[in-house]
Amino acid sequence: MQFFGADIERAANGDASRIGTRGPRNLMELLPDEFTLEDAKRIRQQQGLSNEGYRAVKMIRTWVNRGYVIQNTVLKRMHNA
C-alpha cells in the first residue's frame, strides 16, 4: 500500500485517467452494437491498422469464433466478389 496507495485511491475515486491507456485500443469498444465490414475497416484505419490481406475479415472471424460477436450475414470472400 505504501507504493501503490495513491494510485489505488485515485482508481477508487473514479480517476482512471492513467489506467488502461497503454497498448492498443479494443476495436470492439469503438464499433456500434451492429456494424458492417466497412465499419470495421474504417475503425481499423482510424487506429492506424492495416486492412491489407483481408485483416478486417480475419479480425471479425476471430471475434465470431471466440463468441464475442454474432454474424447476421455471411461474409463473402473478397477474391470471389
* Secondary structure string (H, E, C) spanning 16-67: CCCCCCCCCCCHHHHCCCCCCHHHHHHHHHHCCCCCHHHHHHHHHHHHHHCC
Confidence of residue 41 (pLDDT cuts 50, 70, 90): very high
Percentage of the chain modeled with pLDDT above 90? 49
Are 78 and 57 a contacting pair, CB within 8 Å?
Answer: yes
Whether the predicted pLDDT of 78 surpasses 70? no
Pick the closest to residue 58 from 31, 78, 42 (CA basis): 78
- Within a 10 A sphere around the Cβ of 35, how many other Cβ atoms? 16
0.85 exceeded by pTM: no
pLDDT at residue 30 greater than cutoff 70 = yes
pLDDT at 9: 75
